[in-house]
Structure 1
Amino acid sequence: MSRPMNRRQDNHKISRELFVLTYGALVAQLCKDYEKDEDVNKYLDRMGYDIGIRLIEDFLARSAMRKCRSYSETVDVIAQVAFKMYLGITPSVSCSNTTENEFFLMLDNNPLVDFVEELPPGRSSLCYCNLLCGVIRGALEMVHLAAEVTFVQDRLKGDDVTEIGITFPKRLEVKKHKRNK
């Protein structure tokens, strides 16, 4: 008996839809548990951070990535490899300053909001997808890169695009190793 070739893709899609629906239920429950949006945002960020510090091992093992030499290379890997691997999307990347330590990921399609049309009433400061910021921050910290990760724009709040800002507070030092003779 043979299996259809596209069965794995169907399972991936079902898993993604299940994750998105489960995430929506989680955010809805957090909104019931916490009165303030800031508390929900902090909880989602912390949850994402915990996921990120564990997810980086899987990412490094599955992607066989080499060490990035610059912040821009790091952000490109996040956008082109990690987002594609785990969410099936590839955000575009832009750098906003000359010191090359501040970047923006523009998500044309955010799979976490596939079944969400708008924020709950009275929750205008809720950052629905704040989990993503925590995941990125946690994963970067595990490879010894401190970063501030925030949502700059969000389609759920009426913006034209969903945009995540990543700022590296320290200038990246490229160490040159001396060869032993």
Structure 2
Amino acid sequence: MPPAPKSGDALFASVDRVNAELFTLTYGAIVRQLLTDLEEVEEVNKQLDQIKGFIFRGYNIGTRLVDEFLAKSNVSRCVDFKETADVIAKLGFKMFLGVTATVTNWDVEGTSCSIVLEDNPLVDFVELPDTCQGLQYCNLLSGVIRGALEMVSMKTEVTWVRDMLRGDDAYEMRVKLIKQVPEEYPYKDDD
């Protein structure tokens, strides 16, 4: 019998992490530099989520974090997208950010939901100036979720619906399952 999955608090305690303030300030400095270099808020939003290059891009982080999560959490394979979203909200966010999220607003097909964060350590020390109101400062997190889900064979689209930096009452991401990608095994037995 496999070991029981760890709780979110046990996972958070078991992960080696950098100082939260250092990470938050470093991320903020990178966002600020992107704004200076690219000068277009929409281009910065894309860069924070994009696939290639720069280390703080969410997608790249997600593809790497999923391995650590699976190795340390003892979570067995999720049976569907609903269970996967629940594991992300209750265990994944707790393990890596120290917060728990809520999964709400499921569509009828069970392929789209909202993940709501009432607390987000990524935005400590952040105030958006009027010139950056279109900035999706936390787009890193949507990229992380997309990258992690792709590594477990789920192609998704993740968009921000609400953002406390823009005056909303919570941080809400809409996660939509586009397709379940069948697992491919690189080696086939020809016998």
- TM-score using structure 2 length: 0.80
Q: CA deviation at 1:121?
A: 3.2
In structure 1, what is the Cα distance between the partners aligned to 2:94 and 2:173?
16
Q: Given the alignment of the two structures, is residue 151 of structure 1 paired with residue 160 of structure 2, yes or no?
A: yes
- Structure 2 residue corresponding to 1:19, chosen from 20, 23, 26: 23
For residues 101-130 of structure 1, give each alpha carbon's deviation from its aligned partner in whole angstroms, at most 9, with x where no partner exists.
Answer: 1111111101101111x2133111110010
Paired residue type of 1:157: R
Q: Distance in 2 between matches of 1:120 and 1:31?
A: 12
SS across alignment from 1:146: strand
Alignment of 1:18-97 (within 5 A): 18-46=22-50, 47-97=57-107
- Equivalenced residues, count: 162
Unaligned runs of 5+ in 1: 1-8, 174-181
- List runs of 5+ in structure 2 lacking aligned partners: 1-12, 51-56, 183-191
Is 2:155–2:180's contact at 8 Å kept on the other side of the alignment? no
Q: 1:109 aligned to 2:119?
A: yes
Identical columns (%): 50
Q: Which residue of 1 aligns with 2:108?
A: 98
Contact persistence 2:116–2:172 (CA under 8 A): yes
2:43 aligned partner, one-letter code: D
The higher radius of gyration belongs to: 1
- After superposing on structure 2, the runs of 4+ consecutive aligned residues of structure 1 that deviate more than 6 Å are none
Q: TM-score w.r.t. structure 1 length?
A: 0.84
Counterpart-to-counterpart distance in 1, 2:63 and 2:71: 14
Mark the CA change 1:43 to 1:171 in structure 2 (over 3 Å): closer, same or farther: closer
Between the aligned partners of 1:13 and 1:120, the Cα distance in structure 2 is: 30
The CA deviation string for residues 134-176 of structure 1, in whole angstroms up to 9 with x for no partner, is 0000010011100001111101111121101100023799xxx
* DSSP-derived class of the 2:59 partner: helix
Counterpart Cα distance in 1 of 2:75 and 2:19:
25
